Amino acid sequence: MRAAGILVTLVINVLAVVLRGSAQAPVPAPPPAPVLQPVAFSHNVHAGVAQLPCAMCHPNPDPGERMALPPAALCLQCHASVKADSPEIVKLTTLTTGGREVPWARVYEIPTYVFFSHRAHLEAGGTCADCHGPVAERDVLAREGDVTMAGCMNCHTTKGASLDCGLCHQPYGE
Ligand code: HEC
Ligand code: HEC
Ligand code: HEC
Ligand code: HEC
Ligand code: HEC
């Protein structure tokens, strides 16, 4: 991992010279495919029809970099009784016995060499839909928002935010 980090930093430093000042992106956007999850959780049912607020399950804990995923205990507050006998809820309770968490497959995940903060974007007026699409209408999430470097650069260009390589790629070792 460390070797990979050094390699990426080297490439970034070389490309910095070539690309500085232009918003050219080396990464094409992948087509969105639905992500298979261990339990058939639906945002449409919970955030859409039942209108549960995003922040109930994604609280953006300090220091604000992440939004976080909900603990199973929160699901079970309702599902100890709601639909407790349905096959998907039985799967949920079985998977999480003994205090285990659901091994959710990640939909939006960027490499660790990229610096990103949710709170900085929310404070700048960004909305969940800007980067994640109409989540509350989806039964199954796909990576339909563009969080490639091109996606970041497009909005930074539009909003007049910095395009400096060092904004998102901290110099190695610092
Ligand atoms: C505030 C209460 C509440 C919380 C918290 C909650 N749910 Fe639900 N869930 C519901 C309701 C209401 C339904 C719809 C039930 C129906 O169709 O009658 C539902 C439906 C479901 C279903 C479909 C069940 C079926 O067979 O139709 C699954 C799976 C599910 N929830 C998983 C979860 C998971 C996983 C979590 C935690 C991340 C969670 N729920 C948190 C209230 C809740
Ligand atoms: C009842 C709890 C609950 C609510 C309310 C909820 N979510 Fe989620 N969210 C989850 C769970 C569980 C997952 C992991 C499973 C999945 O991806 O569907 C998740 C995953 C996500 C992801 C993908 C995370 C990743 O892997 O990168 C995004 C983005 C997201 N939610 C956004 C939202 C937004 C926006 C709202 C409000 C419109 C919202 N969620 C409301 C429980 C919830
Ligand atoms: C400016 C773009 C942007 C905005 C606005 C944004 N997100 Fe994200 N979101 C991302 C990126 C990028 C990731 C991947 C972060 C990573 O892998 O470190 C992510 C990851 C997530 C995750 C996965 C868990 C985590 O903490 O990494 C959840 C859940 C999530 N976002 C929910 C939301 C919700 C809810 C909102 C609105 C309140 C929101 N996001 C607003 C870009 C955004
Ligand atoms: C929807 C528009 C939008 C998208 C998409 C977006 N950004 Fe930003 N970003 C902004 C704005 C606006 C600011 C300026 C915030 C300020 O200065 O108050 C900003 C500031 C930042 C900062 C500096 C603030 C801080 O956290 O210290 C970083 C780093 C950053 N963005 C990284 C990213 C990355 C990485 C992505 C892609 C995964 C991304 N941004 C996608 C709008 C966006
Ligand atoms: C606003 C945030 C942001 C800025 C500014 C930025 N990058 Fe990136 N960069 C990213 C993100 C996000 C990724 C990861 C993309 C992915 O995994 O899809 C990335 C990935 C990369 C990669 C790895 C590409 C690959 O194929 O995996 C290189 C090299 C890179 N950036 C170089 C640069 C250079 C050079 C600059 C300055 C011109 C720059 N970046 C400015 C967000 C940014």
Q: What is the pLDDT of residue 170?
A: 80
Cα–Cα dist 115/65, whole Å: 9
Cis upstream peptide for 63 (omega within 30°): yes
Q: Is 153 in the pocket of ligand 4 (CB under 6 A)?
A: no
Q: What is the pLDDT of residue 16?
A: 54
| 5 phi/psi in degrees, rounded to 5 | -60, -45
Ligand positioned closest to the Cα atom of 79: 1
- Measured in Å, residue 81 CA sits from the centre of ligand 5 at 46
Instruction: Yes or no: say if 143 and 31 are a contact pair by the CB < 8 Å rule.
Output: no
Q: Which two tokens stand for residue 94?
A: 């079985």
> Is 50 exceeded by the pLDDT of residue 20?
no
Quick: pLDDT tens for 30-55: 668 899 999 999 999 999 999 999 99
> Is 90 exceeded by the pLDDT of residue 71?
yes
> Is 90 exceeded by the pLDDT of residue 79?
yes
Q: Work out the average pLDDT over 81-107.
A: 97
> Is 70 exceeded by the pLDDT of residue 25?
no
* Residue at 164: amino acid letter: D
User: Which residue minimizes the CA distance to atom 6 of ligand 1?
Assistant: 75
The whole-model pTM stands at 0.92
Please give the full DSSP string across 71-82, using - where no structure is assigned: -HHHHHHHHTTT
- In degrees, to the nearest 5, what angle opens at C-alpha 73 toward C-alphas 71 and 76? 125
Query: DSSP assignment, residue 34?
Result: B
> Is 70 exceeded by the pLDDT of residue 95?
yes
**Closest C-alpha to 38, from 93, 79, 84:** 93
Q: pLDDT-based confidence at 106, cuts 50/70/90?
A: very high
Q: How large a percentage of the chain has pLDDT more than 90? A: 78
Greatest Cα pair distance in the chain? 60
The radius of gyration computed from the CA coordinates of the chain, to the nearest angstrom, equals 19
